[in-house]
Copies of this chain bind each other. A is one copy, B any other.
């Protein structure tokens, strides 16, 4: 795979920044990758892991000479980063990002110099782990990357960024900015908010101890704990910067939940059964679309730390994969 650039800079050395560097190398990128992180501890960790070629605490130093700059930082930090790197950018440098909100990031990038070519991008990939050591080269493989160009976006720069994501094994989709922010409010932001909230409710309840919650979490609760372990700064910024779409989606969720609450109170079993039946089909389609695994129970092993053991009971587990 050949890339249209020789000098790349990644701002932010966390899960996404680290994975980007590893993905570039895995895809055969032979140029230079510089990194900047305003957090010296993260930068040191990245250097100890040998994730990049150059390490800078000042983003302006890191972007000097770069043909492409990728911002892998929380959405709320984008405006300040644009102001810092702007004067140091090479003529015609491509600037792109990985933020979960596109409207707010595009507005924040208004501060870049006119010669810079900004391409708004959002890879739909992540993990509950954060920091440089959480990165891995396959994070973006078989996941979607959404590009939301505006009328100002340079078509050549758009192609360079799209080709980069394809080189990582991602599927690239072009989408309207506002539509992106609504789709993600539903498929990503609301699920994280709900997950954070249920874990919080559980830890605040006085009749049930935290120890009991943890002990009996296999009944369903544990599925929510993964999302609720995601990076707090990143998610605070997402909610503050996609306020309108999140509040609208949350309103729908709460209305629907009130209906289920009423059905439970009035013993309306038919309504419950009807809702619980319709939701099954979505699971099947998520699996068919390659966005989740059909292995029962997420392939969770019986004991912690072990890898899943698909061979434990091949006779009975095998048929499940084709069920429904």
Contacts and interface: CB of A to CB of B under 8 A. Distances in A.
Interface in A252-266: 252-254, 256-257, 260-261, 264-265
B198 A194 contact: yes
Contacts of A283: 128, 199, 225-226, 228-229
A273 B233 contact: yes
A81 B142 CA distance: 48
Nearest to A175: B212
Given A133-B316, A201-B252, A279-B200, A293 B287 contact: no
A248 B198 CA distance: 14
Contacts of A249: 201, 205
Interface in A120-143: 124-129, 131, 133-138, 141-143
A246 interface: yes
A140 to B, nearest CB: 9
Contacts of A126: 218-219
Determine the interface band of chain A, counting residues with CB < 8 A from chain B: 35 or more
Contact of A200 (B193, B236, B256, B302): B256
Interface string A291-324: 1111111111111111110101100110111011
Contact of A138 (B213, B280, B302): B302
A191 B224 contact: yes
Given A198-B253, A229-B284, A240-B267, 9 more contacts: A18-B316, A22-B313, A138-B313, A186-B208, A195-B220, A210-B285, A223-B226, A254-B254, A299-B307
- Please list the 9 inter-chain residue pairs (A to B) with the smallest Cβ-Cβ separation, ordered nearest first: A188-B219, A229-B283, A191-B220, A232-B276, A228-B279, A199-B279, A225-B283, A298-B298, A141-B302
Interface of A: 18, 22, 49, 76, 100, 124-129, 131, 133-138, 141-144, 146, 169, 173, 179, 182-184, 186-205, 207-208, 210, 212-230, 232-233, 235-237, 239-240, 243, 246-247, 249-250, 252-254, 256-257, 260-261, 264-265, 267, 269, 272-273, 275-280, 282-308, 310, 312-313, 316-317, 319-321, 323-324
